[in-house]
Amino acid sequence: MDDKVKYLLSLDAVRERAKQVGKAAEAGKLSHFDVHEERLKDVAVFVTGVIKRDYGPDKFDTIPPHGRWQHFEVGGVPRVAEVMKSWKEDGVDDLEITRRLIDLFFVSVLLDAGAGDHWRYVEPGTQQKYERSEGIAVASFYMFKNLDFASVKDAKSPIVDGKGLEGLSTDALAKGFQVTESNPLLGTESRADLLRGLGKSLLAQPKVFGENGRPGAVVDYLRSNSEDPSKLSVKTFWDILQTLLIPVWPKDRTTLNGQSIGDAWPLSTLEKNAASPSKDETDRIQPFHKLTQWLAYSLMVPFQRMLGVQWQDAEFLTALPEYRNGGLFVDLGVLSLKKEALDKGLKASTNNLPVFTADDDVVVEWRAMTLVLIDKLHGMVLEEMGGVPLTMAQLLEAGTWKSGRELAAKNRPDTKSSPIIIQSDGTVF
């Protein structure tokens, strides 16, 4: 692999490039946003208040890491715990339960790009309605239980495998997600394509995922290739996930020397603020790899809870540059669109909120600044918490993501949307 491609696929590049954007912001040289950093203190106080409200005064150590597990429990229903209990009653051991959870979480996370403002999922049996990330989690949970992602329909052994994903039709996904003209899901076709591509990629790597291309087989691969199976490396896991997923992302993404580099985009701010002019196109690319990082955060949890694994190098994972975390800073006035960008976004809008495509330079800069600001916010929240230790994964879970969502519901109760709308293809946000 080309060294420049390898760098842009790395976690190091995500934060290092974002720091360059942060320096441009400090110099007042962003392309599309003004930064009002004096308001960051207000954000820290607000986020800390949310954390203390939900976990204070003495439950901070119970804050789970940001991950998919919590979404399956929406409505106060312990769906994962209940299905795990049934598996244990059938004599399934912890190792196989971990594999099954990895299978479930893998497809559920990759389906978890923005659902849009109008889609809802009605849970069978309860008739409860769920939306957005939690709705997608519950829908994927029932598809998993229904063996929709498996080539062999064995109710006693629910798994996900390459052939099952490769053969998944868009109609089957739409049916599983209850998609109709009156209940539209953004990017249904793109999501189905993503899972079909995942199936092909899983089958292409039998050393890691076995002959059947099972996501859960990575449990055995990581354990057997570690000196101590109770201590696994995030960076090693990251390389496995990137190798698997880079061929899967849509073909119209950014490429370098003919190779896709996934969720990484040209950014004018990097180009304009370079220390010296460069003819190297890689110098102006800002990588994020948001869904892959969300996947890594989510998959780490079953390893920890079921097998007692300690993850090394977790500090290299970054904040997630998506519309809830980013919306937090817009809603609380830390970031504001410059007039030209705002006018452009409003021109493309059908309401009073600016609209941009996911690859627009405005959105790329917004996402980069989200990383910059959450890194700063992390330290400020720790100060506000009076020494309570919170990892980045815990800050995302109990703080920024939840705060962004609550502000969206308060400020835009009809849609609960982000303050800046991204036209999602179902594979970025």
Six-digit token string for 427: 């594979």
Asked, as a colleague might, if the bond just before 57 is cis with ω within 30 of 0, I would say yes
Sign of CA dihedral 250, 236, 9, 424: positive
Helix (H) or strand (E) holding 311: strand 310-312
State residue 280's pLDDT score: 76
Q: Domain ranges for the chain, please list them.
A: 1-62+261-293+317-429, 67-225
Helix (H) or strand (E) holding 253: none
Three-state DSSP at 68 gives helix
- Reported as a single tens digit per residue, the pLDDT across 184-236 is 988 899 899 999 999 999 999 999 999 999 999 999 999 999 999 999 999 99
Query: What type of residue sits at position 7?
Result: Y
Query: What type of residue sits at position 260?
Result: S
Sign of CA dihedral 66, 72, 78, 83: negative
Three-state DSSP at 289 gives coil
Residue at token pair 């993501």: 401
State residue 273's pLDDT score: 80
Residues 364-389: what's their mean pLDDT? 96
- Reported as a single tens digit per residue, the pLDDT across 100-136 is 999 999 999 999 876 777 899 999 988 899 998 899 9
State residue 276's pLDDT score: 61
- Reported as a single tens digit per residue, the pLDDT across 235-254 is 999 999 999 999 988 777 88
pTM value is 0.92
How far from 413 is each of 405, 407, 408, 417, CA to CA, in Å?
A: 11, 9, 7, 8
**Residues in the chain, overall count:** 429
Residues 390-406: what's their mean pLDDT? 95
Confidence check: pLDDT of 257 > 70: yes
State residue 1's pLDDT score: 64
Average per-residue pLDDT for the chain: 93
